[in-house]
Structure 1
Amino acid sequence: MVSVAGMEKLMNVLRIWGAPLTAVVFTLLWLVGEAGRMGPWPGLPTWNGTMPLLLSTASIAVSAWKHYVSLGFTAALLLGQLLGLIPPMEANHWPIYVGSFMALAFIQWTGDRRARVVSVGSNAVFLVLMTILLMAGQYGDGVGWYSSPDGQLLNQSGGEALNRLVFSLWVGVLLLLIAVGFAAAGRTLSLYEERGGLFQDRNLAVDTLRQTEVDLIIEQERSRISRDLHDVLAHSLAVIAAQSDGARYISAGQPQPVLNALENISSAARSALVDAQRVIEGAGDGVAAPQPRFSDVLPLIERMRQGSLKISHTELGTPVELTTGAQVAVFRIVQECLTNALKHGGRGIPVIAHFDWSGPGLTLHISSDVPDTATHQAEEPRQGRGIAGMRERAHLAGGWMSAGPDGQQFRVTVFLPYGMPQDMPDGVGPAIENGAECGGSGQQRDALETAAAAGSGHSG
């Protein structure tokens, strides 16, 4: 059974090639059926039937895309015989007019409303006039339409004249039925295509409605999450900021480090509250929240220093302007690394952050000392959401990232190319990641990083 897609392909092919192929088949069948009786060729010095065949064939061939040209060929055939410019056909040549009705079928299929109406009207006129020609005197004895079985011409008087009229009317009715059949076939194909188009429009409308429902559900979920975040997170951060401010004012006589710590808590809580409100607003209305830039990295490092991390920040080479995606990736990766160092290492943990600008891209090394318990936890064969998020950000910026324990340190190495992602050496990213995920040694990773960065593999 032919599928819907297969039927559509077949219809498209027939729309383009159906008319020319029909014209070729029509001509070949007629030539085979009338072999030896059409001219002018040696021994057959008559055009009878040849010119009508050529005009009918041309009418069929162009009917699918040149509707009015096709009707013009039909009109030329009719006018030519009405004016005597085209010789009348022999008695057995009348089916050649069926070619005009084949052209009518293709016009009914492929034409617009105007072309369909014009084609029906012109073929109706053609049919009536050709029937009249059949009954006209010039289609009598000299043509041989009504010859007797023994080859003798019939007498045109009395009953034979009635037979002549009946025969002409019979041929006219037969041509009418053939014309109606071809027109109905063409119109049926046109309605089938229109029905298919309506089904496609309906399916598109259903898909659009379904997608709209999904978008509405997502928007409702965003609104719910935004309300929950606002009610829980924003409120908690505001309480933390207020409590730390109150503690700082009450503890005015406390040592300066204590006051600094309380001030840092208040400042961090207020900054986090502003960021949370931006994220909540962006999640509610679908607008992207402001993204950090590379210029925000140094203030981030300074804030984390005030949070009792011993951060050593070094740079090599001349800084290069990074793409927006790369700047966001650097900030978020540094933020995640410093947060993890504080979470797993605690206060006073030493952290080294080294930015190497001397290679084809920025190479970022961040290493931190970790206690034995944290080292054992890091050596477990699992990856946290933070590491997966950092790796995804590096990928989106066209680079790669490796992360893993190295002795008493946890090292994160990131490479972000200055240009487009295709500028990165082929195969470097997956090799580094696979090495890290498989627990490769620090020396192996350093060797791969050095090859990838082309001389920028300085470890911080």
Structure 2
Amino acid sequence: MLPLLNRFRRPAREAAAPATALAVLLALLVLEQRGFNRDSTLLFALLSAVAAARIFPAGALVFAAGTLALQAFKVLPVVMVSGVLSYVAVPLLILFATLGLRGRYRWLLPVFAVASAGLITLNWFADSTWVNFVFGAQLYGRGALRTGTYVFLVFGAFAAFNLAAWAAGLAVNNAGSSRGAQLRAEAELQQAATELAVEQERNRIARELHDVLAHSLTVITAQAEGIRYIHRSEPDAVEESAQIIASAARTALVETRHMLENVAPADTSPAPTLDQLESLAGQFTASGMRVTVDAPAEERSVTPLQQLTAYRLVQESLTNAFRHGDRTKGARVSVRPGPDGLIVRVSSELASAGSAPSAGNGRGIPGMKERTTAVGGSFATRTTGNRFDMEALLP
């Protein structure tokens, strides 16, 4: 609906001035019983200027000023003949010219408002028949001061009408500018919100891909390296390692497809849960780093978001421990409810002092911190000697 309204808004604005001029012309032709003759020349000329004021504001002002000057020089019929209601066109002209005039020529508007009031006053008092008809004995033989007072009042009245029309035009322009600025601001805000949503989604996908692929590739690499050394001496273990590689690759493929398509395959759960921690620990144990899990199911009462976040935190922490830690010392996972939420802890031993994963490089620890913060929780890592601990609170 709004695009349709916006489509017809500009033509309606441009048609307003001609429509107003035509309405005033028809009204005055009826009210004053006018005809299309010389006596209506002033009216036709001023209303023609009104009709063109929105599109050609400067030209319309100059044309109207010339018309009023011609009446002052008696080229056009005087006020008594042309009618005083013809001057109604002047404020209308100023109004529409204000709506159409832009740039450095805007100073013409108040100048024309005052100058046209002066020309109209001059035309009034230059027509003695009209002045006697309007003021009668109030001016006849009453002195220059009284006449000057009436001249000033007539001039002030026309100037007030003209300046009021100019002010009304400015108000409409300002309202339009404010509305335009508001629409632009709303459009920019909407664009910024869209860009933010896109960036957040991009970061989410990057974080998920990192967690899924880093873990799976770590397991696959470890098993593939192990096969190099045992394929002749322990053929049975090769088959087990191949199964682990296939399982890790299959899991990574399924989770990646689910993440990108946002649709869970029919034979998989929508997202990893805490019930899969034992399977996760088994992959690392089979790859050479024993992992113990302390996450009693009977003590858990957590939301799907908490389960997914906790699983990813444990997955990334174990991947870091496998890559940077002493695999022979293993790792310990604890997931238990606390008074303020679910508490997730992962402890491991570093291969050497100073080999802890950095919080400033890669997406590992920063990604875990982002995950925890996104659900309103807290995240911390500690290094004590060769011991590295990760702890997160998920409310």
Query: Which letter maps to 1:21?
Result: A
| 1:91 and 1:146 in contact (8 A); partners too | no
1:68 aligns with 2:58: yes
- Which whole-Å CA distance do the structure 1 matches of 2:62 and 2:4 have between them? 35
Q: Does 1:26 align with 2:37?
A: no
Q: Secondary structure of the residue that 1:201 maps to in structure 2? A: helix
In structure 1, the residue corresponding to 2:227 is in which secondary structure? helix
Query: Equivalent residue of 1:159, what SS?
Result: coil
Matches for 1:39-188 after TM superposition, within 5 Å: 40=37, 47-48=38-39, 50-90=40-80, 93-135=83-125, 138-140=126-128, 143-147=129-133, 158-159=141-142, 163-188=146-171
Per the TM alignment, residue 110 of structure 1 is displaced from its structure 2 partner at its CA by 3.1
Off by >4 Å, runs of 4+ in structure 1: 3-14, 153-157, 160-164
Match of 1:197 in 2: 180
Consecutive unaligned residues of structure 1, counting only runs of 5 or more, are 41-46, 287-460
| 2:114 match: secondary structure | helix
Q: 2:359 is matched with which residue?
A: none
Tell me the distance in 1 between the aligned counterparts of 2:23 and 2:143: 37
Q: How does 1:335-374 map to 2 (within 5 A)?
A: none
Matches within 5 A, 1:245-264: 245-250=228-233
Tell me by how many angstroms 1:26 deviates: 1.0
Structure 1 pair 4–170 and aligned structure 2 pair: CA distance change class (3 A): farther
Higher relative contact order (CA 8 A, sep 6+): 2
Q: 1:213 to 1:246 in 2, by over 3 A?
A: same
Displacement, 1:14?
A: 4.3
What is the one-letter code of the residue matched to 1:109? L
Partner SS, residue 58 of structure 2: helix
Q: Name the SS of the counterpart of 1:16 in structure 2.
A: helix
Question: d(CA) in 2 for partners of 1:223 and 1:191?
Answer: 47
Give me the TM-score of the superposition, normalised by structure 2.
0.54
CA distance in 2, matches of 1:194, 1:58: 28
Deviation at 1:54, TM superposition (A): 0.9
Distance in 1 between residues matched to 2:225 and 2:218, nearest whole Å: 11
* In 2, Cα distance between equivalents of 1:77 and 1:18: 23
**How much is the aligned-residue C-alpha RMSD, in angstroms?**
4.1
SS in 2 for 1:64: coil
Quote the offset at 1:198 in angstroms: 1.6
Task: Report the counterpart of residue 292 of structure 1 in structure 2.
Answer: none
Q: CA deviation at 1:70?
A: 1.4
Matched, 1:206 2:192: no
1:415 aligned residue: none
SS class of match (1:74): helix
Which AA in structure 1 matches 2:25?
T
Measured in 2, the distance between the counterparts of 1:131 and 1:55 equals: 18
Cα distance in 2 for partners of 1:155, 1:208 equals 69
**Structure 2 residue aligned with 1:217, among 171, 190, 200?**
200
Shift of 1:105: 0.5
More deviation, 227-236/83-92: 83-92
What is the count of residue pairs matched by the alignment? Answer: 254
How big is each residue's C-alpha offset from its partner over 1:123-153, in whole Å with a ceiling of 9 and x where there is no partner?
3222223323434xx422xx3321379xxx7
8 Å contact kept, 2:139–2:146? no
Q: Distance in 2 between matches of 1:79 and 1:148?
A: 22
Residue type of the alignment partner of 1:75: A
Give the equivalent residue in structure 2 for 1:243.
Answer: 226
Amino acid paired to 2:116: F
Letter of the 2:219 counterpart: S
CA contact (8 A) 2:46 2:86 kept: yes
Query: For each residue in 1:108-132, what CA deviation from the matched residue of structure 2 results, as whole angstroms up to 9, or x when unmatched?
Result: 2233143432222223222223323
Q: Which amino acid aligns with 1:119?
A: L
After superposition, what is the alpha-carbon deviation per residue over 1:239-294, rounded to whole angstroms, capped at 9, x for unaligned? 2322333232436xx7xxx99x97x959x87xx69x98xx89xx9xx9xxxxxxxx
Matches within 5 A, 1:10-21: 12=10, 14-21=12-19
In structure 2, distance between residues paired with 1:126 and 1:112: 20
Provide the C-alpha distance between the structure 2 equivalents of 1:165 and 1:146, rounded to a whole number of angstroms.
Answer: 15
Q: Is this contact kept in 2: 1:23–1:58, CA < 8 A? A: yes
